[in-house]
Amino acid sequence: MPTPAHPFDALMDITARPQTVFVRGEGSYLWDDTGKRYLDFIQGWAVNCLGHAPACVADAIAAQAKVLITPSPAYYNAAGLKLAKALVDHSCFDQVFFANSGAEANEGAIKLARKYGALHKDGAFEIITFEGGFHGRTLATMSASGKKAFEPLFEPKVAGFRKAKLNDLASVKQLINDNTVAVMLEPIQGEAGVWPATDQFLKELRALTQEHGLLLIFDEIQTGMGRTGVLFHYEHAEIAPDIMTLGKGIGGGVPLAVLLATGKASCFEHGDQGGTFNGNPLMCAVGLAVLEAVSAPSFLKAASEAGLYLESELQKLSARHGLGEVRGRGLLLALDLKLPIGASIVEQALEAGLLLNSPQPDALRFMPALNVTREEIAEMIEGLDSILTKAGAARRVA
């Protein structure tokens, strides 16, 4: 038996991974340890909004690492304060708490809502979330998620989450009771297969939560930071949530997440929330560089145009191969394959040097860098086209 070049067995086997080992990335491309190049339309799971190893991220890390990595969260640091102020200035929120992962930011949002309930709503603690929703892998965020596969895992779940149906206001209304303190959702359900809430539903949800004195929590970990063509997705619906969480894109590839709240909702008291690495200057310096790049109007305009181009190319591809709808917004799109062939397409794409994701057996999800070029989109479409042609031919023979 050949000795494997890499010690795979030293890692806990938590998911099926191909044996590819990546060693380098640049923009929309990755290289493995054999020198093979891959066009990346996964980008760290919608994380690398500026592509692989962008100079502004590398420079921010290098510069900050030379002066201060962390003074401890018991003290203020300049980079953290700057990023907090920049986020507040670019959004409808008044205060932020930094975290290290999306799940941790959501865990913070859940705690903040419960604190608000304890202070202002007679101890109300229930949060209405949505079937199909995904909020992370801590116990509370798994409990908040509406992912079917999570249901039998790690029982008992954290109590206090009731699931409504996306785009069905009556299903939300039905679940409101004296214990309800908040409604929490992803404006586009990413992991479920890219299912968008309509702007109308989001507007109605805002009105309903206001009518009942409930907090509205947007999980923008996947949709935020320009992913859907505006800095934050809530802007599309022209509403202002009370709480928002960011992750993925804000760090441009490094572990940084944020819990943002309006002055009314920002009610933590000393001792309620914290964490050793939270708000460390190394990550915050990167967040600042990323926010500066992504929030530039010309950058958002180009990302939005790239999204429209990708969408129209996917629609043409779908028509050529008799596939289903293209859904999503900006550079978070899915193609309905109509058949459970997603895993096989992903495997063939990897072989062909193209990284694609299939969040559900019958769908492909596209989440390239926000600065992806038209040429790179065309290259991806060409690669996928030839895989679909082969798959179609195989079906006709079978």
Ligand X SMILES: Cc1ncc(COP(=O)(O)O)c(C=O)c1O
* Block residue for tokens 């990167």: 286
Q: Closest residue (Cβ) to ligand X?
A: 102
Please report how close the Cβ of residue 394 comes to ligand X at its closest, in angstroms. 32
Task: Name the strand (E) or helix (H) holding 360.
Answer: strand 357-360
Binding of ligand X by 101 (CB under 6 A): yes
Task: For residue 19, give both structure tokens.
Answer: 């044996």
| Nearest CB to ligand X, comparing residues 195 and 388 | 195
Question: Rounded to the nearest whole angstrom, what is the least distance from the CB of residue 313 to ligand X in the complex?
Answer: 24
Answer whether 147's CB lies under 8 Å from 134's CB: yes
- Looking at 28, 48, 106, 143, which residue binds ligand X (CB under 6 A)? 106
| 217/282 with CB nearer ligand X | 217
Spell out the alpha helix ranges (H) of the chain: 43-46, 55-67, 78-90, 102-120, 139-144, 169-175, 199-211, 281-294, 297-321, 342-351, 374-397
Residue 17 Rama label (left phi>0; alpha psi -120 to 50; beta): beta
Q: Which of 40, 107, 126, 191 binds ligand X (CB under 6 A)?
A: 191
> How far apart are alpha carbons 127 and 225 in whole angstroms?
25
Residue from 64, 180, 222, 358 in contact with ligand X (CB under 6 A): 222
Alpha-carbon span 40 to 26, nearest angstrom? 10
Instruction: Name which position in 27, 136, 229, 251 contacts ligand X (CB under 6 A).
Output: 136
> How many C-beta atoms lie closer than 10 Å to residue 298's C-beta?
7
Q: What is the C-alpha to C-alpha distance for residues 122 and 84, in angstroms, rounded to an integer? A: 31
> Is residue 190 a contact point for ligand X (CB under 6 A)?
yes
**CA 57, CA 55: separation in Å to the nearest integer?**
5
The footprint of ligand X on residues 27-86 (CB under 6 A) is 45
Residue span binding ligand X (CB under 6 A) among the ranges 54-62, 70-78, 99-107, 308-316: 99-107
The smaller minimum CB distance to ligand X, of residues 103 and 216, is found at 103
Q: Cβ of residue 9: shortest distance to ligand X, in angstroms? A: 24
| 169 Cβ contact list (under 8 Å, min separation 6) | 201, 204, 205, 208
CB of 48 to ligand X, least distance (A): 13
> Which residues are CB-contacts of 77 (< 8 A; sequence separation ≥ 6)?
68, 70, 71, 279, 280, 281, 284
Among 221, 310, 331, 346, binds ligand X (CB under 6 A): 221
Nearer to ligand X, 126 or 219 (CB): 219
Let me know: does 307 contact 372? Beta carbons within 8 Å.
no
Q: Which is nearer to ligand X, 43 or 348 (CB)?
A: 43
Q: Which of 44, 132, 247, 281 binds ligand X (CB under 6 A)?
A: 247
Stretch that binds ligand X, among 82-90, 96-104, 164-172, 297-305 (CB under 6 A): 96-104
What does the alpha-carbon distance between residue 385 and residue 391 come to, in Å, rounded to a whole number?
A: 10
Q: Identify whether 368 is preceded by a cis peptide bond (ω within 30 of 0).
A: no
Rounded to the nearest whole angstrom, what is the least distance from the CB of residue 88 to ligand X in the complex? 21
What residues numbered 157-186 form the site for ligand X, per CB under 6 A? 186
Nearer to ligand X, 132 or 383 (CB): 132
- Helices 78-90 and 281-294, packing angle to 10 deg: 30
Query: What is the distance between the alpha carbons of residues 311 and 345, in angstroms, rounded to a whole number?
Result: 19
Task: Give the interface size with ligand X as a residue count (CB under 6 A).
Answer: 15
Stretch that binds ligand X, among 169-177, 216-224, 353-361, 376-384 (CB under 6 A): 216-224
Closest CA to 183 of 265, 263, 257: 265
Closer residue to ligand X, CB minimum distance, 245 or 318: 245
Stretch that binds ligand X, among 20-28, 218-226, 227-235, 376-384 (CB under 6 A): 218-226
Nearer to ligand X by Cβ, of 217 and 349: the residue is 217
Tell me the window of 111-119, 161-169, 215-223, 372-380 that interacts with ligand X (CB under 6 A).
215-223
CB of 157 to ligand X, least distance (A): 17
Using the contact rule CB under 6 A, the part of the chain among 98-106, 290-298, 331-339, 374-382 near ligand X is 98-106
Write out the residues near ligand X by the rule CB under 6 A. Answer: 45, 101-103, 106, 134-136, 186, 190-191, 219, 221-222, 247
